[in-house]
Amino acid sequence: MMVAAAEISATPSEGIAPCQLGLEARMALTLAEMDGRCRMAALAVDVNSAHITTEPPMTPAVLPLPPAPSPSPYSTPIAALLHRARIRIETDGWCRDALYDESGAICPERAIRLEAASRRQGHDASLLLLESIRRHWQAETIPSWNAQQNSVAPVLLAFDRAAQLAHSRDQ
Protein backbone atom coordinates (compact mmCIF):
# COMPACT_ATOMS: atom_id res chain seq x y z
CA MET A 1 0.00 0.00 0.00
CA MET A 2 1.31 3.42 -0.99
CA VAL A 3 1.44 6.20 1.49
CA ALA A 4 0.86 9.70 0.25
CA ALA A 5 3.45 12.30 1.11
CA ALA A 6 0.86 14.33 2.98
CA GLU A 7 0.26 11.45 5.38
CA ILE A 8 3.86 11.46 6.53
CA SER A 9 4.43 14.20 9.02
CA ALA A 10 7.30 15.36 11.11
CA THR A 11 5.37 14.73 14.30
CA PRO A 12 5.42 11.18 15.52
CA SER A 13 2.28 9.13 15.37
CA GLU A 14 0.52 8.33 18.61
CA GLY A 15 1.86 4.79 18.78
CA ILE A 16 5.53 5.55 18.05
CA ALA A 17 7.78 7.09 20.63
CA PRO A 18 10.34 9.65 19.41
CA CYS A 19 13.89 8.44 19.28
CA GLN A 20 16.40 10.36 21.30
CA LEU A 21 19.73 10.68 19.47
CA GLY A 22 22.92 11.95 20.98
CA LEU A 23 24.86 14.93 19.70
CA GLU A 24 27.41 12.80 17.82
CA ALA A 25 24.68 10.76 16.10
CA ARG A 26 22.84 13.90 15.00
CA MET A 27 26.11 15.39 13.73
CA ALA A 28 26.86 12.21 11.76
CA LEU A 29 23.37 12.27 10.19
CA THR A 30 23.75 15.95 9.30
CA LEU A 31 27.17 15.28 7.78
CA ALA A 32 25.77 12.42 5.70
CA GLU A 33 22.89 14.60 4.53
CA MET A 34 25.27 17.44 3.60
CA ASP A 35 27.54 15.02 1.69
CA GLY A 36 24.52 13.86 -0.30
CA ARG A 37 23.52 17.44 -1.09
CA CYS A 38 27.06 18.32 -2.18
CA ARG A 39 27.19 15.28 -4.48
CA MET A 40 23.83 16.28 -6.01
CA ALA A 41 25.05 19.87 -6.51
CA ALA A 42 28.26 18.67 -8.18
CA LEU A 43 26.23 16.37 -10.42
CA ALA A 44 23.90 19.25 -11.32
CA VAL A 45 26.89 21.42 -12.26
CA ASP A 46 28.26 18.61 -14.47
CA VAL A 47 24.90 18.12 -16.17
CA ASN A 48 24.23 21.84 -16.63
CA SER A 49 27.68 22.54 -18.06
CA ALA A 50 28.02 19.45 -20.28
CA HIS A 51 27.26 21.47 -23.42
CA ILE A 52 30.13 23.91 -22.79
CA THR A 53 33.24 23.07 -24.79
CA THR A 54 36.53 22.90 -22.98
CA GLU A 55 38.51 24.13 -25.98
CA PRO A 56 39.77 27.70 -25.73
CA PRO A 57 37.57 30.10 -27.69
CA MET A 58 38.83 31.26 -31.04
CA THR A 59 40.04 34.81 -30.79
CA PRO A 60 39.20 37.01 -33.75
CA ALA A 61 42.09 38.45 -35.67
CA VAL A 62 42.97 41.89 -34.46
CA LEU A 63 42.70 44.38 -37.27
CA PRO A 64 45.14 47.25 -37.19
CA LEU A 65 43.55 50.57 -36.39
CA PRO A 66 43.64 53.18 -39.11
CA PRO A 67 46.05 56.00 -38.38
CA ALA A 68 44.53 58.79 -36.38
CA PRO A 69 43.80 61.80 -38.53
CA SER A 70 46.36 64.50 -38.07
CA PRO A 71 44.93 67.76 -36.84
CA SER A 72 44.52 70.34 -39.54
CA PRO A 73 47.12 73.08 -39.47
CA TYR A 74 44.46 75.44 -40.86
CA SER A 75 41.79 77.21 -38.85
CA THR A 76 39.76 78.39 -41.83
CA PRO A 77 37.01 76.05 -43.11
CA ILE A 78 37.95 75.79 -46.81
CA ALA A 79 41.66 75.41 -46.07
CA ALA A 80 40.87 72.69 -43.51
CA LEU A 81 38.60 70.97 -46.06
CA LEU A 82 41.36 70.97 -48.68
CA HIS A 83 43.78 69.56 -46.10
CA ARG A 84 41.33 66.74 -45.20
CA ALA A 85 40.78 65.97 -48.89
CA ARG A 86 44.55 65.71 -49.38
CA ILE A 87 44.80 63.31 -46.42
CA ARG A 88 41.92 61.26 -47.86
CA ILE A 89 43.75 60.85 -51.18
CA GLU A 90 46.85 59.74 -49.29
CA THR A 91 44.80 57.26 -47.26
CA ASP A 92 42.41 55.89 -49.90
CA GLY A 93 44.71 56.17 -52.89
CA TRP A 94 44.72 58.34 -55.99
CA CYS A 95 42.57 57.62 -59.03
CA ARG A 96 43.50 59.23 -62.32
CA ASP A 97 40.77 58.65 -64.90
CA ALA A 98 37.54 58.28 -62.87
CA LEU A 99 35.87 59.55 -59.71
CA TYR A 100 36.92 56.31 -57.99
CA ASP A 101 38.04 52.82 -58.87
CA GLU A 102 37.33 49.30 -57.59
CA SER A 103 40.23 49.45 -55.11
CA GLY A 104 38.71 52.52 -53.42
CA ALA A 105 41.15 55.08 -54.81
CA ILE A 106 39.58 58.48 -55.47
CA CYS A 107 40.15 61.55 -57.64
CA PRO A 108 40.58 65.10 -56.27
CA GLU A 109 36.97 66.08 -56.99
CA ARG A 110 35.61 63.06 -55.09
CA ALA A 111 37.97 63.70 -52.17
CA ILE A 112 36.59 67.23 -51.87
CA ARG A 113 32.97 66.02 -52.11
CA LEU A 114 33.53 63.40 -49.43
CA GLU A 115 35.08 65.88 -47.01
CA ALA A 116 32.79 68.86 -47.65
CA ALA A 117 30.07 69.64 -45.13
CA SER A 118 27.87 71.18 -47.84
CA ARG A 119 27.67 71.56 -51.61
CA ARG A 120 28.60 75.22 -51.30
CA GLN A 121 31.71 74.41 -49.29
CA GLY A 122 32.70 71.72 -51.80
CA HIS A 123 32.17 74.12 -54.69
CA ASP A 124 34.31 76.81 -53.05
CA ALA A 125 37.10 74.30 -52.35
CA SER A 126 37.02 73.05 -55.95
CA LEU A 127 37.29 76.62 -57.26
CA LEU A 128 40.32 77.29 -55.07
CA LEU A 129 41.95 74.02 -56.16
CA LEU A 130 41.36 74.89 -59.81
CA GLU A 131 42.79 78.38 -59.28
CA SER A 132 45.86 76.88 -57.65
CA ILE A 133 46.27 74.41 -60.52
CA ARG A 134 45.97 77.17 -63.13
CA ARG A 135 48.64 79.24 -61.39
CA HIS A 136 51.23 76.49 -61.79
CA TRP A 137 50.03 74.24 -64.63
CA GLN A 138 48.12 74.66 -67.85
CA ALA A 139 44.65 73.15 -67.28
CA GLU A 140 41.04 73.90 -68.06
CA THR A 141 39.41 71.64 -65.47
CA ILE A 142 40.47 69.61 -62.45
CA PRO A 143 39.58 66.25 -64.10
CA SER A 144 41.54 67.06 -67.29
CA TRP A 145 44.57 68.14 -65.25
CA ASN A 146 44.26 65.09 -63.00
CA ALA A 147 44.23 62.76 -66.04
CA GLN A 148 47.54 64.29 -67.25
CA GLN A 149 49.40 63.47 -64.03
CA ASN A 150 51.72 60.45 -63.83
CA SER A 151 51.89 60.25 -60.05
CA VAL A 152 50.09 61.45 -56.96
CA ALA A 153 52.83 63.94 -56.01
CA PRO A 154 51.57 66.89 -58.14
CA VAL A 155 48.03 66.28 -56.92
CA LEU A 156 49.08 66.48 -53.28
CA LEU A 157 51.17 69.56 -54.04
CA ALA A 158 48.15 71.23 -55.68
CA PHE A 159 46.07 70.52 -52.56
CA ASP A 160 48.79 72.00 -50.33
CA ARG A 161 48.99 75.15 -52.45
CA ALA A 162 45.20 75.50 -52.57
CA ALA A 163 44.95 75.11 -48.79
CA GLN A 164 47.62 77.78 -48.29
CA LEU A 165 45.78 80.05 -50.72
CA ALA A 166 42.48 79.55 -48.86
CA HIS A 167 44.16 80.18 -45.53
CA SER A 168 45.79 83.38 -46.77
CA ARG A 169 42.37 84.59 -47.96
CA ASP A 170 40.82 83.60 -44.62
CA GLN A 171 38.46 81.14 -46.28
pLDDT per residue as tens digits for the range 114-165: 999 999 999 999 999 999 999 998 889 999 999 999 999 999 999 999 999 9
- From CA 160, how far away is CA 86, in angstroms rounded? 8
- From CA 105, how far away is CA 109, in angstroms rounded? 12
Contacts of 70 (CB under 8 A, 6+ apart): 87
68 falls in which pLDDT band (50, 70, 90)? low
pTM exceeds 0.85 for this model: no
